Amino acid sequence: MLALAVACVAASLCPNAAARAAPRAAPIPGGIAIVRLAPATDAAPQAFYDGRPVLVERRSGDWQALVGLPLSAQPGEHTIKVVSVSAGGVQERDAGFRVAPHTYAIQRLTIKDASKVTPPPEALARIEQEALKMASLRTHFRDLAAVDTDFVLPAKGRLSSRFGLRRILNGEPRSPHSGLDLAIAAGTPLGAPAAGVVIEASDFYYCGQSVILDHGQGLISIYCHLQQIDVTQGQALRRGDRIGLSGASGRATGPHLHWSVYLNGNPVNPELMLRN
């Protein structure tokens, strides 16, 4: 089994982490809010955030919602819509939670292949098509009664770039870092962090050779810049099953794994999903 080699983002995000089960709550932009919905003795409710269904699971004797918060989430009060079905019919209510402020650091990178920072005109159509495809995959929702949310690292390696960093590439501001980077040698075997189904295994302009796993209920994980893909679309995987080999394909400064996790369509810090 792959060992956890990455520390928490900051002690303030996961105090007493050794006593907590994954996922861990961190109600900040790019984090996870865990909201109690109902006792586990009741029928499983549904929950929605910004119009999208969110993951609901049994935790500590309750039904709880795991809400992925966008990096653009504003501090303050937020709500989810809860839908419950009982003998009395369908009931709807709001459940609230509070998002705390958080500022991510700035990271400056230099990429030698300038076309990966400012792509040539002939690549724009491909990039646009891939962006639409990726957006659809990130918001994919498969109803599943029990979701494996207890993740392990896809590979052992040094954490070279944290989640949420505000990136400047070759002097130009770009989107925040939507995952974490593990500095590992090209050709390192990569394992599935938890049970899931392959919903994409192909090459992208920016992400290079990539694999996308659907873990159920809107929990999606993405693996980029691979040297080799060893799975096919529709393949079911268990925790630890090999998905491919790390590399430096696509927009990359060198061999590494870019690993992203999405909840209800929003990128969240993968470290919050890792078992202790």
Express as a percent the part of the chain with pLDDT over 70.
91
pLDDT at 3: 33
Contact in structure between 73 and 62 (CB atoms under 8 Å): no
What is the structure's pLDDT at 276?
A: 66
The whole-angstrom separation of Cα 68 and Cα 138 is 12
The total of other beta-carbon atoms located within 10 Å of residue 212's CB is 26
Side-chain-side CA neighbours of residue 240 (13 Å): 4
What's the whole-model pTM score?
Answer: 0.88
Q: pLDDT of 192-245, one tens digit each? A: 999 999 999 999 999 999 999 999 999 999 999 999 999 999 999 999 999 999
Residue 144 identity: L
Exposed (0-12), middle (13-18) or buried (19+): which is 58, by Cβ within 10 Å?
exposed
pLDDT digits (tens, 9 = 90+) for 117-154: 778 899 999 999 999 999 999 999 999 999 999 999 99
- Tell me if 57 sits within 8 A of 64, measured CB to CB: yes
Q: How confident is the model at residue 60 (pLDDT cuts 50, 70, 90)?
A: confident
**Strands 106-109, 166-169: pairing kind:** parallel
Rounded mean pLDDT, 68-82: 97
Q: What are phi and psi of 19, to 5 degrees?
A: -95, 0
Domains and CATH numbers, the chain: 22-99 (2.60.40.1590)
Residue-averaged pLDDT of the chain: 89
The rounded distance, in Å, linking the Cα atoms of 233 and 32 is 28
pLDDT digits (tens, 9 = 90+) for 81-104: 999 988 788 999 999 999 999 999
141 contacts: CB under 8 Å, gap ≥ 6: 52, 53, 217, 218, 264
